[in-house]
Amino acid sequence: MITVDLVAAARPNFMKVAPLYRALKSENSWCRPRLIHTGQHYDTNMSDAFLRELGLPDPDAHLGIGGGTHARQTGGVMIAYEEECLRARPDWVVVVGDVNSTIACTLAAKKIGIPVAHLEAGLHSGDRSMPEELNRIATDALDTLGSRVTVMES
Q: Give the pLDDT of residue 126.
A: 80
The string of pLDDT tens digits covering residues 3-55 is 999 999 988 899 999 999 999 999 878 999 999 999 876 666 666 777 889 99
Using pLDDT thresholds of 50, 70 and 90, give the confidence band for residue 153: very low
pLDDT at 117 over 80: yes
**Positive or negative, the Cα torsion across 69, 61, 58, 53?**
positive
Q: Give the pLDDT of residue 2.
A: 95
| Mean residue pLDDT across the chain | 88
What is the set of domains in the chain, with CATH numbers? 2-150 (3.40.50.2000)
What DSSP line would sit under the chain, residue for residue?
A: -EEEEEEE-SHHHHHHHHHHHHHHHHTTTTEEEEEEE--SS-SGGGTHHHHHHTTPPPPSEE-------HHHHHHHHHHHHHHHHHHS--SEEEEESSSHHHHHHHHHHHHTT--EEEEE-S-----TTSHHHHHHHHHHHH-TTSS-EE----
The string of pLDDT tens digits covering residues 101-115 is 999 999 999 999 999
* Cβ atoms of 62 and 101 closer than 8 Å: no
pTM confidence score = 0.89
Query: Integer distance in angstroms from the first to the last C-alpha of the chain?
Result: 34
Mean pLDDT of 87-103: 96
The string of pLDDT tens digits covering residues 61-91 is 999 998 889 999 999 999 999 999 999 999 9
Residue 58 gets the label, from left (phi > 0), alpha (psi -120 to 50) or beta, of: beta
